[in-house]
Copies of this chain bind each other. A is one copy, B any other.
Amino acid sequence: MTNTSVDYTAAGVDYSKIDPLKIDAQRAAKETVGNLAHTGFTEIAASRGESAYVVDMGDFLLASITECLGTKVLIADAMRPITGKTYFDSLAQDTLAMAINDIITVGATPISVQAYWAAGSSEWFDDKQRSHDLVQGWKAACDRCQVAWGGGETPSLSGVVNANTIDLAASCIGVVRPRERLTIADKLQAGDAIVMLASSGIHANGVSLARKIAADSTEGYKAKLSDGRLYGDALLDPTVLYSPVTEALFAAGIIPHYCANITGHGWRKVMRHPGSFTYRFTDIGSVPPVLAYLQRAARMTDAEAYGTFNMGAGFALYVAAGDAAKTVEVARRTGVHAWIAGSVETGPKSVVIEPIGVTFTDADMHLRA
């Protein structure tokens, strides 16, 4: 998950309220670059604005990241009495996806992960079914992404974490190898195609709003979606893991020019690249029933919905136009639905979603300090 809070009014965000803590921390962090001097390694400075930190180790580049899942665990706690499922196998996948889907955006192959499971009490882990689901789900996601699970921390933080829940996070290390796979900011160009990879549902952003909708409605999490499923059960569909796609792309000879993990800010994330381009969409794919329900229940305009949720697209690959069709095919062969959604043009920094008549401009985007 990212740091952004969910907002009913996705449009007209006041970008002067950039998080002062983040600015303070980013500034201080940047000042530590000299600490690498004794190692002989150098950092890829541009990675400080990207999703993963990259250090040049000579033979390859080393990427690292730590990401938390966030409050999706609270939905699982609410749903278990309803369906009997613990959902912690799914939440394990969500947590790993937060780290892995971010680290691959810089062109890294994920190598190993560490688990961070901080419960609110030592009793939390006594629930054998739930703990076992968490372990098995974590392992299964590691296997899907071909990463080694190196270890982790499973503390009981009574008084810090709420008694009946758990703070889940993952740290991940990856390698960018060969170095040509590095996607920082220098390859994106007008004429590139935008291939979207389908999401499974809400993934892990917009969760506070999803919980509020349940709290404010009479059927709550038991509301029926257009496909007959329960709202809460569909909310807990795990985040799609996208590293099998990026690895398959490289094996097929395709190196994306840029990537964006669609997490907070919805489709506004599409323009996270520091440069100035217009991103024009002509095919928006289909919206998962759970997100269609959410938009309706929250009475959000398309601009608000597409500026908050992924609306069916969990990851954006910006590839050379000639690679677009093959990119779609490669992704689908790994089991991830994909489609050519639009293209990158010269123009003012903006996201233009033609089928719904929505445009996001630079003023709507303040992810970089």
Contact = CB atoms under 8 A, between A and B. Distances in A.
Interface in A32-79: 32-33, 35-36, 38-39, 41, 43, 47-48, 52-53, 55, 57-59, 62, 64-68, 70-71, 73-74
B131 A24 contact: yes
A159 B160 contact: no
Contacts of A157: 68, 70-71, 167
A39 B162 CA distance: 39
Interface stretch (A134-142, A182-190, A221-229, A303-311): A134-142
A41 B167 contact: no
A362 interface: no
Contact of A162 (B74, B159, B175): B159
Contacts of A166: 160
Contact of A125 (B19, B53, B111, B171): B19
A35 B241 CA distance: 15
Nearest to A115: B25
B162 A35 contact: no
Given A28-B139, A43-B112, A57-B57, 8 more contacts: A1-B155, A5-B122, A21-B125, A24-B135, A66-B171, A68-B153, A116-B169, A160-B166
